[in-house]
Amino acid sequence: MKIGVLGNKNKVKDEKTVAEIIGFLEEVGYQTVRFFTPSEIDGVDVLIVLGGDGAILHSAVIAARKNIKIIGINYGNLGFLTEYEKDERARIKELLSQLEKGNCRILKRSLLQVEVLGQTFYALNEIALQRDNGLHAKKSSQILRLQVDTREGSDVIAGDGLLFCTPTGSTAYSLSAGGAILTPEVPVYMMTPICAFSMRTRPIVFADCEEITVKIVRGKSIVLCDGVAIAQFPENTEIRIKKAPFTADFPVREGSDFFAKVRNKLNA
């Protein structure tokens, strides 16, 4: 089994830490590759990411599209997506051994696909459609109006914007905006309004086979995937959102407890 190691240089400033992990992996017989940026990720079976949730988000789409499994070691703040804390890093050998034997649970995290003006993007956490606040346009709209079309019907939602999140992303931006917590593998995704103008507008959960079209009715919308801005789009732009055709696969150690992680991480 070939292992890639990627360290977030902003979190892991001592290269000796990365060298230590590569060293004990090679001692037990694994071939390793050192990556310095997410764009380099290729040709390995497992990717070990040293950093926080941001480092995993920056790597997840690339790894998922190449069928590379992801294991995170937390060197950041929250570390909700990581499997180990930094003082547990040596235990990663146990998980890799179980993975080789086929005795390891693989948590398959769904991603969202967004198509807009002939371009396609992906997100592990969420896709955000946010109103322009005057920083990107000379005239800013106080309210963004978005028409949402689904097979269940159509509605126009006004406010600061909308979030479409995966179960993974339900504990991130969406949770802060009033969304529910979804367990990681439930086959759904959620639409969460951002500061909705109407009190009737509430988060809605859709089956992940649903394809949603959002049309910008009023204002200009900035579209972000996992917090990274794609572009700003004008009125009448249509944005199509659906489940991506691949998953991000995370090996999970024995005894992993989602609810304990929610308690420990979100109460911090």
Q: Residues with catalytic annotation?
A: 53
Q: Which of 179, 177, 181 is nearest to 195 (CA)?
A: 177
Q: DSSP code of 29? A: T
Report how far residue 122's alpha carbon sits from residue 115's, in angstroms, rounded to the nearest whole number. Answer: 9
Tokens 């991603």 found at: 111
**Cβ proximity of 51 and 11 under 8 Å:** yes
Q: Order the strands of the 188-194 sheet from edge to edge.
A: 204-207, 188-194, 161-165, 126-131, 221-225, 228-233
Cα distances from 125 to residues 2, 72, 92, 165, in angstroms, run: 27, 16, 24, 6
How would DSSP label each residue in 132-201? --SSSSSS--SSEEEEEEETTEEEEEEESEEEEE-TGGGGTHHHHTTPPP--TT-SEEEEEEES-SSTT-
Place of tokens 């956490």: 125
